[in-house]
Structure 1
Amino acid sequence: MFRRLATTLAISTAVVMSQKPVFAQGKEHHDGKGFKNPWPSFVSYGFLDAFKMFTTADTSIMSAKPVDKPETVEINWNLLKQKDDHIHATWLGHACMFLQIKGFNVLLDPIFSDRCSPVQFAGPKRYTDPPCKLSELPPIDAVIISHNHYDHLDVDTVNQLAKLYPECKFYVPLGNKSWFKLPEDRVIELDWWETATLQNSTTQLTMTCTPCQHFSGRGLFDRNKTLWASWCIQAQKDGEVQKVFFGGDTGYRAVPADTKPEFQYDTQYLDTLPHCPAFKEIGEKMGPFDLAFIPIGAYSPRWFMSPIHCSPEDAVELHCDIKSKQSIGIHWGTFILTDEPLFEPPKRLKAAMEKRGLDAQHFNVLPLGGTFTVNQ
């Protein structure tokens, strides 16, 4: 338990250590000292807060070895290996989705390592195995990274992908390109609202780097030196457009530390707090979306995690803000990063959808290895 907590805390302490950023362009989210969340919905916590978090967290959950695990199904390889014009989305664990859109194969925040940590002998260990090997996937055209935390940017997985799929390109937020030891043309680095395209003989794939509320850092001295992002993925063929949103890892609003427990997830109270305006902007500019992948886990203790991780209640609001027709909950069921019960995120999600008077089938979760298809 203490080894896991120590490694997680070492990563968490990156929130208070910073140096001059790689980029400082005078934009709202570039402040000359690093990248930042430029909204009242964000609160920054530091080293002492991280220690306080561990004193208030339920360490029995964080240290327990799960007996029951999320449902796992065998991947439908016949479906995944045929190219068609539908959207297919397969959950490979945590925030990793395998997206197939009009013939393009896109991998989002892939992590196939045993631990999300700077080392593989300590740190949060996955309690559900990946449903396949990287080498079993159809050829990958694009890999999209939301930010540089270890559970989203994994060095062993990236190295494998670079060798297995020499034609695939990596799309990353600003400041992350230098981390990749790859040829210049294989890594495309974007700021918020910038776009990049991939083209084949019939289809254009456009990837737009969009805002979200989070932070970055892989060590003690690089907090917020690189940007974090959500992504909008658009495929256009013969005049038909398909749109997918990838939330990566994001918060929605900051719940004050002195909030009573009974109000921490109360939607009426939460609606009185400032919320991140970026998602309504994304919905207005880029939506509606045919499909969205939205984080629903790693949200407790609420006061500490709320600025950077959506609760299921937050995720439902985000789903509405971006105008998503169908959403899938991600960022749960793989690593024990926080102290909410393992199966609580999908239960809270269903309840939050119903409380808002929405059809719970329009924002649900997949079994590990399961595929959701958008038929148009």
Structure 2
Amino acid sequence: MTKDISTKATRPAHHDPNGNGFVNPWPSFQRNSLMDTLRMFIEFNWKQAKIPPKEELATLVKLDMDLLNQNSQPPSSQTNGQGTVAGAEGDRRVMATWLGHACFLLQIEGVNVLFDPVFSKSCSPVQWVGPKRYTPPPCKLDELPRVDIVVISHNHYDHLDLATIQALQRDHKPRFFVPLGNKAWFHSIGIKDNVYEYDWWNTHELEFHGGQSHVRVTCTPCQHFTGRSLTDHYKTLWASWVVESVPKLPSEKAIKVFFGGDTGYRTVRRGISEDEVPHCPAFKEIGERIGPFDLSMIPIGAYSPRWFMSSIHCSPEDAVRVHEDIKSKRSVGMHWGTWVLTDEDVREPPRRLEAEMKSRGHDPATFNTIQLGETLVVNL
């Protein structure tokens, strides 16, 4: 972990005042106690969380490899099938392909960015125990196009997987972007030269394709926690992330993409009205400082039981408010459809998302879910 040499007076609010890791610095977060955790396991509704028949699960579709390979090139090399340059005025686009849970392949200006990749069967320290996938990845890891950047939101096993990271390093040697404290884990597995470790609001610009493509990666706040064992909770930082294109001309607008990682929005204890509790202010700050966003990936699952999960996981209703706060023009739901991590019906998140979008007066087509392996194309 990065050594903290700051003093209590100079540390940011999300740094533990004693230098022992990190905290969620807002009234919207309340930490669960050991008794809360035990009560949650006792009350866990296994019947409700039962995996339904295969035909009722998230649909799996084959990746459109021609489309993915085409958009792995700089805009000047892309065409839309009619000879038109995809990067030309009025014909720019950004694409996101859902690979399960929180894993997306983002394609922006010919740069391929992979978020929170986990291709293993179990999201746990060992493969013979822990949550097992009930939907497979839509492709094998070695079937992906070139991976330029890998972005990690935090170190939980459903977002950071040893075997997947090792394979990506072996086959692609991408640049890894991680929140504070996570570089040491990468160093421990032999990845030392291409790991960028950042605090909230740190940013970095990179160029690809001989300078034809420029992107900016920014580490942004969210409300969650970390830990890969029982003894290291809150020791490393968690984050959402922003990826933007860097305009080459004054007249060109940046393409802006938000990745929510894993986050809560408010803490709703038993008997408390959801409308009476504080909301996490980080997302409005992100919207004001960087937004509006052309595309956002926002978590919508793993929210039940609500009294326990609300501080760390968005419900679909929370997700719509994140969508509003960050000023997203087009959002897609994630963090569902892959592992049973909580006790809501695994088919429920998309239904509740659609209902909440209608209830809040939004077009449901501007924030919905896509199929496993499907590529969402946003034309700009």
Using the size of structure 2 for normalisation, the TM-score is 0.88
**1:293 alignment counterpart:** 297
Is 1:139 aligned with 2:146?
A: yes
2:14 to 5, 29, 37: 29
**2:134 alignment counterpart:** 127
| 1:348 counterpart SS class | helix
Q: Which amino acid aligns with 1:333?
A: G
| 2:307 counterpart SS class | helix
**1:348 alignment counterpart:** 352
Q: Is the 8 A contact 2:49 2:345 kept in 1?
A: no
1:288 positional shift: 0.3
Is 1:43 aligned with 2:30?
A: yes
Is 1:174 aligned with 2:180?
A: yes
1:232 positional shift: 0.6
1:50-89 map, 5 Å: 50-62=37-49, 64=51, 66-67=53-54, 68-83=56-71, 84=78, 85=87, 86-89=93-96
Q: Is the 8 A contact 1:66 1:127 kept in 2?
A: no
Q: Which amino acid aligns with 1:226?
A: T
Is 1:320 aligned with 2:303?
A: no
Distance 1:249 1:307 in 2: 11
Q: Which amino acid aligns with 2:216?
A: T
Q: Is the 8 A contact 1:212 1:247 kept in 2?
A: yes
Q: Deviations over 1:92-150 (max 9, x none)?
A: 00000000000000000000000000110010000000000111111100000000000
Q: Is the 8 A contact 1:98 1:108 kept in 2?
A: yes
Identity percentage of aligned residues: 55
1:57 positional shift: 1.9
Is 1:202 aligned with 2:209?
A: no
2:169 to 158, 162, 179: 162
Q: Which amino acid aligns with 1:362?
A: T
**1:262 alignment counterpart:** none
Of stretches 297-306 and 180-189 in structure 1, the one that deviates more from structure 2 is 180-189
Distance 1:278 1:184 in 2: 31
1:229 positional shift: 0.1
Q: What RMSD, in angstroms, separates the aligned Cα atoms of the two structures?
A: 1.5
Q: Is the 8 A contact 1:21 1:34 kept in 2?
A: no
2:266 to 229, 235, 253: 253
Distance 2:43 2:2 in 1: 32
| 1:61 counterpart SS class | coil
Q: Which amino acid aligns with 1:373?
A: V
**2:75 alignment counterpart:** none
Q: Is the 8 A contact 1:23 1:30 kept in 2?
A: no
| 1:354 counterpart SS class | helix
Q: Deviations over 1:287-332 (max 9, x none)?
A: 0000000000000000000000000000000000000000000000
1:66 positional shift: 4.9
Q: Is the 8 A contact 2:244 2:257 kept in 1?
A: yes
**2:278 alignment counterpart:** 274
Using the size of structure 1 for normalisation, the TM-score is 0.89
Q: Is the 8 A contact 2:298 2:331 kept in 1?
A: yes
Distance 1:249 1:133 in 2: 24
Alignment: residue pair count:
347
Distance 1:141 1:197 in 2: 13
Q: Which amino acid aligns with 2:177?
A: Y
Gaps of 5+ in 2: 72-77, 79-86, 88-92
| 1:50 counterpart SS class | helix
| 1:117 counterpart SS class | coil
Q: Is the 8 A contact 1:294 1:329 kept in 2?
A: yes
Q: Is the 8 A contact 1:283 1:321 kept in 2?
A: yes
Aligned CA distance change for structure 1 residues 23 and 154 (closer, same or farther; 3 Å): farther
